[in-house]
Structure 1
């Protein structure tokens, strides 16, 4: 049931973003979008299948198991459910912020994560362009956090839905109205902010790590307000993989972490 709820909301948000992009695109693409989309969706399907094989119960199943066996900090106390859910979601988001920074700083992790950043374009499907090994490692990190804290299953389900929706939203090839964007970016990572994170300029790539809220970047000094090139001229992607990514075939993306660049 949990998987179907997540899938339904994922498909709905993806469809809404695709319609928005079709009607009001922010930028013109460099690469044939059908080639990119086919490969990107191939990655997320592959990752989803592998993660189900690795953890058949899923993250909510792990949370239910932890609750039944009194694993984790929150299961040692009689906390109100609303408080445990709220603290759990904040903790999970903070863990993913630092996970993201780690994948940028540790060379062998960056080899995996650069599959995401090597995309020469930036649209909603970039939000699912992650190497399956990175997805499995992220699954393991979230599972460990759930077990250590005793995160309630309700919090896991809500967090995963929000995480997926935010990833699709902030990778969209769209632009919020200027005044609205100025307000939204005080809370959430907007497309304008996340586009900076996909800049080919290393200093900009190593900023704006948040997946949902912008506060972690403020707190830990990784916030970049504007791209040096300006909003309309951000050079998206990794320069060292520019040519290889012209057609972005699925097998090229799977092998990208093992290329010596």
Structure 2
């Protein structure tokens, strides 16, 4: 089963990514929540180029990825899950939930620690909020995130099936909750009890620091509510709020070279 999963991982993840990216792009055209002020060509070309760089860097640095590591752990009896005689499906569900909690806590950490924020702020410096914002992360942040995820997978003893499902779902929900789409208010109100919605996550991309430091969830919305970081709506409203950071507000800051150098830029750069 593990070997089959390893063979399935790359095409499944790529197919889900491309399909959901295309679907969200069409949805944004059909029913946008906010007007675009910056040409999509500028933002999309640079944001998607960052995805290509991130993917290449990860492949070059890590000889094995998350599902492969989980398979090794399963073969060698690594992790806490091997201490309990529980049904396999239950261990998989618990692993999925714990992985999501770890991503939430990591996100909080990347906001709280100044050195980590310098890596993460590139994601927040996008001047608009749409599906490509959900894939705009600095390669150094991606590498560090992978190391944290690997540590959690090994510590939990996560089944490879749970890890593969988590990887696909996390990628899909990141594209979804960064979408510039309009959901009817009643639908959004119900949906955000089960998944992070675009209106919920958009608050996190507000220029107001109190709003930036809220709604950290990417997938499951419960952690924000349970741990006191939930904010229902931005002060300026979904269409009136300002996206981004006080710094890095020129269109030149949206280009790939500026994005790659951003963690190393000082306050006067």
TM range (shorter): over 0.9
In the alignment, the residues of structure 2 paired with residue 174 and residue 42 of structure 1 have an alpha-carbon distance, to the nearest angstrom, of 23
Residue 63 of structure 2 is matched in structure 1 by: 56
TM-score (norm 1): 0.97
Q: CA deviation at 1:246?
A: 4.6
| Contact in 2 for aligned 1:36/1:247 (Cα 8 Å) | no
Shift of 1:21: 0.7
Stretches of structure 1 lacking an aligned partner (at least 5 in a row): none
Unaligned runs of 5+ in 2: 1-6
Mapping 1:97-176, distance limit 5 Å: 97-176=104-183
The Cα shift of 1:78 comes to: 3.0
Map residues 180-199 of structure 1 onto 2, 5 A cutoff: 180-199=187-206
1:81-110: CA deviations, max 9, x gaps? Answer: 111110001100001101000000100100
Secondary structure of 2:47's counterpart equals helix
Structure 1 contact 185–214 (Cα < 8 Å) conserved:
yes
- Computed over aligned residues only, the root mean square deviation of the Cα atoms, in angstroms, reads 1.1
Q: How many residues get paired?
A: 260
SS of 1:99 mapped into structure 2: helix
Q: Name the residue aligned to 2:266.
A: 260
Match of 1:71 among 64, 67, 78: 78
Runs of 4+ aligned residues of structure 1 deviating over 6 Å after TM superposition are none
> Is the CA contact 2:253–2:259 (under 8 Å) kept in the aligned structure 1?
no
Partner of 1:178: 185
Please say if 1:10 is aligned against 2:17: yes
Task: Give me the whole-angstrom Cα distance separating, in 2, the residues matched to 1:152 and 1:54.
Answer: 23
Q: Distance in 2 between matches of 1:156 and 1:259?
A: 35
Secondary structure of 1:240's counterpart equals coil
**Counterpart secondary structure, 1:96:** helix
Secondary structure (helix, strand or coil) at the match of 1:232 reads: coil
Show the counterpart of 1:85. 92
